């Protein structure tokens, strides 16, 4: 192992002792070339921030008290539902529930048109079945409440009622149930 890598490795191992978030931030900053650091600082801040204790309902006009927890429900192919379905008329705005960075805008067979958002604590927020995304592009910073797309029926939701599938993924922990984070808000939204 080269002297630089060995030194970096020792620093990295020592960093794990000061806490997971600090270690992730340390690794991130150690691996990012200086020329890209300015663009990477918002990502580092998100990774170092604690995950939210509550999030806003990501569909415009839908109140938290109208949500139904569908976490773990059976799905085709032996899958389990890893998120919550939020029903609303086609074209209703899908909003960022937290500030973050758009990680990916695209399509996949199950989710149809999707947006992935990197949020605080490194959590990935997944928005699926969009009729169409708004105009976010990968790398765009968004604030809570910014429009990401519009409710639809793409992917495996084709033929069913319009809704947003909203999921949260927490690194190695995998998918987490968003319902408790959505209903914990006292404002009803």
Report the percentage of the chain scoring pLDDT > 70.
Answer: 76
pLDDT > 50? residue 103:
yes
Contact at 8 Å (CB) between 45 and 120?
no
**57 in any annotated domain:** no
**Same-domain check for residues 114 and 164:** yes
> What's the confidence (pLDDT) of residue 78?
82
**40 in any annotated domain:** yes
CATH number of the domain encompassing residue 153: 2.70.70.10
**What is the per-residue pLDDT across 58-78, written as a single tens digit (0 to 9) for each?**
999 999 999 999 887 777 778
> Structurally, how many domains does the chain consist of?
2
Mean pLDDT for the stretch of residues 110-139: 93
**Same-domain check for residues 27 and 107:** no
> What's the confidence (pLDDT) of residue 12?
44
> What's the confidence (pLDDT) of residue 80?
83
Contact at 8 Å (CB) between 188 and 175?
no
> What's the confidence (pLDDT) of residue 38?
56
**Same-domain check for residues 78 and 28:** no
Q: Is 44 helix (H, G, I), strand (E, B) or coil?
A: helix
> What's the confidence (pLDDT) of residue 4?
47
**What is the per-residue pLDDT across 140-176, written as a single tens digit (0 to 9) for each?**
999 999 999 999 999 888 999 999 999 999 987 889 9
**Same-domain check for residues 84 and 154:** yes
**Same-domain check for residues 87 and 141:** yes
Dihedral sign from CA coordinates of 154, 157, 160, 161 = negative
**Same-domain check for residues 39 and 123:** no
Mean per-residue pLDDT over the chain, rounded: 83
pLDDT > 70? residue 81:
yes
Domain of 19? 3-48
**161 in any annotated domain:** yes
* H or E element that contains 116: strand 112-118
Mean pLDDT for the stretch of residues 22-32: 61
**Same-domain check for residues 167 and 85:** yes
pLDDT > 70? residue 31:
no
Report which of 133, 1, 123, 113 is spatially closest to residue 55, judged by C-alpha positions. Answer: 123
């Amino acid at each position: 192992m080269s002297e630089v890598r060995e030194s970096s490795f020792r620093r990295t191992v020592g960093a794990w002792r000061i806490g997971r978030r600090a270690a992730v931030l340390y690794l991130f900053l150690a691996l990012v070339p200086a020329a890209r650091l300015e663009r990477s600082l918002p990502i580092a801040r998100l990774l170092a921030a604690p995950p939210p204790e509550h999030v806003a309902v990501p569909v415009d006009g839908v109140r938290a008290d109208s949500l139904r927890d569908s976490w773990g429900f059976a799905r085709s192919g032996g899958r389990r539902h890893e998120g919550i379905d939020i029903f609303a008329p086609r074209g209703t705005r899908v909003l960022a529930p937290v500030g973050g960075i758009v990680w990916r805008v695209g399509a996949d067979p199950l989710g149809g048109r999707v947006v992935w958002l990197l949020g605080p604590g490194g959590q990935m927020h997944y928005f699926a079945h969009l009729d169409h995304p708004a105009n976010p592009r990968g790398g765009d910073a968004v604030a809570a409440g910014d429009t990401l797309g519009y409710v639809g029926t793409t992917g495996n939701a084709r033929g069913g009622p319009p809704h947003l599938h909203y999921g949260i993924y927490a690194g190695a922990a995998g998918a987490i149930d968003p319902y408790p984070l959505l209903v914990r808000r006292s404002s009803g939204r």
